[in-house]
Structure 1
C-alpha cells in the first residue's frame, strides 16, 4: 500500500501541475465545481460501499463463505439499481445545476455540460465496482488493490500528457478521458476477483435473501444519511465560495483538496488495511481487541498525518511556488487550514470503524449528520456579513473536528465501551504533544533563514527528528516498539533475499 502511495502521490501531484497549467485557473475551477456536483450526488455509492465492506468483512471474521456469496449477490443487484438511479437523478439535477445554481462563464457552459455527462458515466462504473472492492478489502489483498491504484494513476498521467499537447478544447477532452478510467479499473477488478475468490459468483436467483437485503439496505440507509450530509456540505462549500467569489477561488479550494487528499494517503492506507481487521474482530465477538486496534489506528493516523502535514503547512508558500507556476489567490491559506482540519479529525475519525462494526448506527448517523451540515449555513452567514474566504475553513474546523469529534467519542463509549481515560492516554495526549512540539521546533528555521530549498530541508529534518525522538523515548509503548522493530527486520530480510 505504501509503495503504491509513493508512486500515486508523485504522479497525482505532477498531474495536477500539468492539468492546472494546461486548463488555466478558471477552467480548472469549472472542472472542480462540476466534478463536485457528481461527487455530491454520488453519496449512494459511498454509503453502499461502507455497508458492503462491513458485511463482507464481518462474515469473513466468522468464516462463513456461503453467507458471503449471498452478500456479494445482494450487493451486486443493489449497486446495479443504484447505478441506474444515479444516472437518472444526475441527468435531472443537471438541468438545475446549469440553470441558476452554477456560476460558469457563458462561453464555457457547453464544455461544462460535456464534462458533466462524461462524469455521470464515470460515476456509474465506479458504483458497479464496489462489490469487488469489498471482496478485496475483506481478504486484505492490498497487493492487488495497490497494483490497480498504480494503474489508475498512470492512466491519469497519460490523460494529463494528452491534454497538454491537445490543440482543441482541453477541458472537454479532459472530462471525457477521465470518465473512461473507472470503466477500465472496474473491468480489471472484475476479472481478477472472479478468478481468485469463490464467493464472487453472480447468481442472484440462487444467492438472494430478502432479510439480508433489508439489513444491508438499513445499514446503508443510515450511512447514506451521514455521508450525504458530509458530501452536501463539502460540495455546498464550493458553491457558496463560487457564488460569493467566483470560479478562481474554486481553483484555490481544488488545490487545497488535492494536497490534503495526497498527504492523507498515508493515513488512509493504514485505515484501509485496519478496517477489515476491526470489523472481523467485531464479527468474532472480541470487543477488547476491536477497541485496542481502533485506538492504535487513531494514534498512528495522527502520527502519519502530522509527519507530512506539519512540515508542509510551515513551508506551504515555497512548496506551492515550486509545484505550481501560478498559485491561485488564497490557495496558501486554504491549504494550511484544510490540512489543520484534516489533522484534527484524525484524533477521532478511525473510531467510526468500531461504531460501524457493532452494527447499530442509527443515532450516530442522525447526530453526526446534523454536525456535518451546520458549517454550510455558518459559512453562508459569514460571507453575507463580509468575512474573508478563509472563514469557510473556520466553520468547518469547529464543527467537523471539534463538535463531531466529541460525538464520535460519545458513541464509541456508549456503543463499544470505549474508556475516555484510555483514549486520552493512548491517543489524545501523545497526538497533541507530538503535533505541538513538531510545530514549535519546525518554526525555528523560519525565524533565521530566508525562504528557499535549504530552509525547506531544515524544517523537514527538524520536524521529523522531533517526531522520531518523541516516539522513541516517550510515546510508543513496548508492544508498539516491538511491532515496528519486527517490521524493519522483515523489510531488511526481504532486501537481503532479493
Structure 2
C-alpha cells in the first residue's frame, strides 16, 4: 500500500476510535468534576497531574525508540530490530529506576513548602503521589512495546486499547459519583491502575504477534547500538524532561499564587485543548512512522513532503474544530459543566491558540529526529522550556493575573516553532520560501477568514444553542470552501480525492 493511502487508512481507523472516545471522555470529565468538586479536582490536577505529565514523557521516549524501529524497517533489516528492541528494554529499565528515585526526592520538597494543599487533604495527596510513582515505573519499562506497535503502524490495536481506556474512565467516573469511600483517593488509585493494565495487555500482544519482540537482553546486546540509542534517547529525554518540568512547574506556580481553584480551571483547559488536538494528533500518529521510514529508505524528498503535508493537515484539522469552540467557549463550558471554574473560559481560549501555533511546525520535530542529529535542537528547546518558569514567576510577582501564564506559553511556542523551522532548514534542506508560500500563507489566511465570517452571528444573535448552530454551519461552509480554494495545492486535492475514491470503492465492494 502506498504511504499516502496507508496513512489515510490508519487515520480512518483512529478517527473511528476517536468518534467513540471523545464524547465518553468529555462526559466522564463532567461527572468527575461534579463528584470531586472544584477543590479536590484542583488537588488532583496538581498532584495527579504528574500522571498526565509522565504520560507525555512516555510518548516522547516511545518516539525515540520508535525512530530506531521505523528506521530499521525502512532499511529492511529484521535482525537489527531484535537488537533495537532488547537494547531499548535495558535502557528504559535503567531510566525507570532513575526517574522513580528522582521523583521520590522531589516529592519531599513538593509536600513540604511548595504545594498549597489544604491540610485536611494533605495525606490523601501524598498517597496519590506514591501510587503515581509505581505507575510511572511500569509505564517507562513498557515504552519499547509502544514503540513496536507504532513502528508497525498497528492502529487497529491502538484504537481498541483507546476505546477500552475511555470506557474504563467512564466506569471510574460513575463509580466515584456513588462511592462512599474518599472520592479523591478512590479516583486517584483507579486512574493510576488503568495505565498499568493497558500496558500489560500491550506487552502480551507484542510477544505473540511480532518476531522482533524476543526478550533476551544478553543475546541481543550490542554495545555500539546501546551507545547510539542512549545518546539519542538522552537528548530526546532532555528536551522532553524540560518540557515536563515547565508544564508541571507552571501548575505549581499557579497553585502557589492563586490556589487550587485556578488549577481546576487549568485542568478544564487541558481537557478541552487535549480533546480538540486529538483530531490532529491522531493523524500524526499514523504519519510519523512514514516520515522516519522515508529517511531510512534514503528518500529525503518524500520525508520533507510528508512533513510539510503533515503540518498543514494537522493545523487545518485543529482549526476546523477550534474556531466555533473559541467563539462559543462561554456557552459550551456552561452547557458542559455544572459549575465552570473561574478563568476556565479564557484559559481554554488561550490554550487553543497556543495549540494552533504549535501545529504549524509539529511534524518538523519528527523530521529532525529521523536524521538522528538532535543534540543542538534538544539543547535549545530545553533552554526555551526552562525559561518559561522564571518569566511566569516574575510576572506574577509583579502583579499579573492568572491568564498571563498562557500568554507566556504562546510566546514560548512561537520561539520553539522558529527553532524547528531553522533546524529543519539546516539538517533536512527545507526551503524557507516554500514553507512560507505553501504552508504559512494558506493556513493563516484560510483560518483567519473563516474565523471572521463565523464570528458575525455574535453581533445579531444572543448566546445560545441557535447561535452555536449558526456559527458551526458558517464555519463548516466557509472553511471547506476556502480550504479547496486557497488552503490546498492541486496535488494535495488530488491526494484527498484519490483517498476518498479508494474508501468509497472499498465500501461498495464490501456491500
Q: CA deviation at 1:48?
A: 2.8
Q: CA deviation at 1:63?
A: 0.9
- Equivalent residue for 1:13? 26
> Per-residue displacement from partner, 1:213-260 (whole Å, max 9, x unpaired)?
111110111111111111111111111111110000000000001110
Q: CA deviation at 1:59?
A: 0.5
> Greater CA deviation, 41-50 or 239-248?
41-50
Cα distance change, pair 197–148 in 1 and its aligned pair in 2 (3 A):
same
Instruction: Confirm or deny that 1:332 pairs with 2:382.
Output: no
- Equivalent residue for 1:113? 126
- Equivalent residue for 2:207? 194
Instruction: Confirm or deny that 1:68 pairs with 2:81.
Output: yes
**Is the Cα–Cα contact under 8 Å of residues 41 and 90 in structure 1 kept in the other structure?**
no
Instruction: Confirm or deny that 1:492 pairs with 2:504.
Output: yes
- Equivalent residue for 2:425? 413
CA distance in 1 between counterparts of 2:235 and 2:128 reads 31
CA distance in 2 between counterparts of 1:315 and 1:136 reads 38
CA distance in 2 between counterparts of 1:262 and 1:136 reads 23
CA distance in 2 between counterparts of 1:80 and 1:285 reads 32
Q: CA deviation at 1:39?
A: 5.0
TM-score (normalizing by structure 1):
0.97
Q: CA deviation at 1:284?
A: 0.8
CA distance in 1 between counterparts of 2:335 and 2:57 reads 38
Structure 1 residue runs of 5 or longer lacking an equivalent are none
> Per-residue displacement from partner, 1:269-317 (whole Å, max 9, x unpaired)?
1111110000000111111110010000000011001011111111000
Instruction: Confirm or deny that 1:434 pairs with 2:446.
Output: yes
- Equivalent residue for 1:270? 283
- State the SS of the aligned residue for 2:372: coil
Q: CA deviation at 1:90?
A: 2.0
**Is the Cα–Cα contact under 8 Å of residues 256 and 338 in structure 1 kept in the other structure?**
yes
CA distance in 2 between counterparts of 1:191 and 1:128 reads 14
Structure 2 residue runs of 5 or longer lacking an equivalent are 1-13
**Is the Cα–Cα contact under 8 Å of residues 40 and 231 in structure 1 kept in the other structure?**
yes
Instruction: Confirm or deny that 1:249 pairs with 2:249.
Output: no
Residue number among 18, 37, 40 corresponding to 1:24 in the alignment: 37
**Is the Cα–Cα contact under 8 Å of residues 70 and 292 in structure 2 kept in the other structure?**
yes
CA distance in 2 between counterparts of 1:130 and 1:490 reads 34
CA distance in 2 between counterparts of 1:492 and 1:78 reads 45
> Greater CA deviation, 288-297 or 90-99?
90-99
> Per-residue displacement from partner, 1:96-146 (whole Å, max 9, x unpaired)?
111111110000001111111111122222212211111111111111111
Q: CA deviation at 1:377?
A: 1.5
Cα distance change, pair 44–266 in 1 and its aligned pair in 2 (3 A):
closer
- Equivalent residue for 1:230? 243
Q: CA deviation at 1:41?
A: 6.4
Q: CA deviation at 1:35?
A: 2.0
Residue number among 461, 465, 472 corresponding to 2:477 in the alignment: 465
Map 1:276-291 to 2 at 5 A.
276-291=289-304
Residue number among 358, 371, 379 corresponding to 1:366 in the alignment: 379
Residue number among 468, 471, 476 corresponding to 1:456 in the alignment: 468
- Equivalent residue for 1:80? 93
- Equivalent residue for 2:324? 311
- Equivalent residue for 2:309? 296
Aligned length: 497
**Is the Cα–Cα contact under 8 Å of residues 84 and 124 in structure 1 kept in the other structure?**
yes
Q: CA deviation at 1:80?
A: 2.0
Q: CA deviation at 1:74?
A: 0.8
CA distance in 1 between counterparts of 2:17 and 2:57 reads 27
**Is the Cα–Cα contact under 8 Å of residues 242 and 386 in structure 2 kept in the other structure?**
yes
TM-score (normalizing by structure 2):
0.95
- State the SS of the aligned residue for 1:264: helix
- Equivalent residue for 2:154? 141
